[in-house]
Amino acid sequence: MSITKDRRGEGANHHHHHDWLELRVFAPRDPQERTFVFDAATVVGDAALKVATAFGYAKGNHTFQNRHDEVLDRKATLAHAHVDNGELLELIDIGGGV
């Protein structure tokens, strides 16, 4: 599913800084929200694929929509898409598959 390892205790020798985001996500098929944890550097499309799989959806062009009805760019990172820790997102399929 998603990465949940807490790296805060790895000490000063750890050279990579990770900003973890805990996201609350619901889907049309299952309106009960679930919580997922991703690195802020995760690409939106990759995170959406993992979430879609967890919700039992077939492969598609999944992304997220925020509470402002903005559809997140599948190619952007969660950080560049301005996703905040604890944010509630809806899993959507934008279609366009081959």
> Beta strand 20-27 with 30-39: parallel, antiparallel or unpaired?
antiparallel
In this structure, whether the domain defined by 19-93 belongs to CATH 3.10.20.90 is answered with yes
Output the average pLDDT for the chain. 85
Q: Give me the amino acid identity at 64.
A: F
- Is a pLDDT exceeding 90 seen at residue 65? yes
Domain ranges of the chain: 19-93
- Render pLDDT for 2-31 as a digit per residue (tens, 0 to 9): 444 444 444 444 444 569 999 999 998 888
Q: Within its chain, how far is the Cα of 25 from the centroid? A: 8
| pTM attached to this predicted model | 0.78
The pLDDT assigned to 31 comes to 84
The pLDDT assigned to 20 comes to 94
More confident residue, 26 or 95: 26
Nearest alpha carbon to residue 28 among 57, 68, 50: 57
